[in-house]
Amino acid sequence: MAPEKLSGAASKWSNPLKQKLARGEPVIGLVISVNNVEVAAHGAGLGFDFLWIEMEHAPIALETVRNIVLATRGLPAVPLARPPVNELWMAKRLLDAGVLGVIFPFTRTPELARQAVAACRYPPAGLRGSGADLAQARWPAPEGYYDFADENVLVVAVVEDTTGLSHIDEIAATPGIDVLFIGTSDLSFSLGLRGSQEDPRLDEAVARIASAAKRHGKILGRPGRSPEEIKAFQKQGFQFFMTGTELDLMSAGATNLLSPLGRKRWTPDSIGL
């Protein structure tokens, strides 16, 4: 997916995620949760629009992120990463490793929303440092990497607690935020629902965030675990979907294969633990 030249002239490459979102189309991502470049490269060619490299809840280090970025060169899925914290230095290192978007967890205040944008833009629009040699090697843009990055890096703000909910209008109004992603599981916990996705109070919170996103022209995102869920959420205005992990796909594939043969998934009870 490197920028190309057409008919002897340099052409500008545009992030296909941003293109699809601008056209009102959905984008669907696979979560990479294991420290395995082969798995990530395989996942990048399965039909997903992006890889969600999970560093908040999985033991993936920066070196692995870089290897995934290199291993997926030329494959369709765009590499994004979720760091464990919303910090300038963390986002900078991920972008310099070559991801084309950062998913900022627990964006609970307008200050954190502005910090997320600043981390992903070069001065004067932001605070990103200029040492991007590795990223330039991954994205050798004809117009130069700095202009390329400012136009193509995707900024995703995750709203997933009641503090973020209370500031949602200010967060949604932040210039430079591309996607407001609703972390429905953590939001449920923050509401005192212990992860339940069926409670009306969660539905009300999601609707409040969705309303703010639409009011301020932000793309809406949320988890979508099945084709039926994704289609239903699309009708509600959502476009950016995080599906399960590569391990979820492995489990589903094993169940589809083995259940008709009378095989069951292992549980601690099966060996008396």
Q: Assess whether 167 carries a catalytic annotation.
A: no
Diameter of the chain measured on Cα atoms:
68
C-alpha separations of 88 from 82, 128, 176, 208 in Å: 13, 8, 15, 28
Candidate list 42, 57, 167, 216, residue with the active-site label: 57
Residues annotated catalytic, as ranges: 57
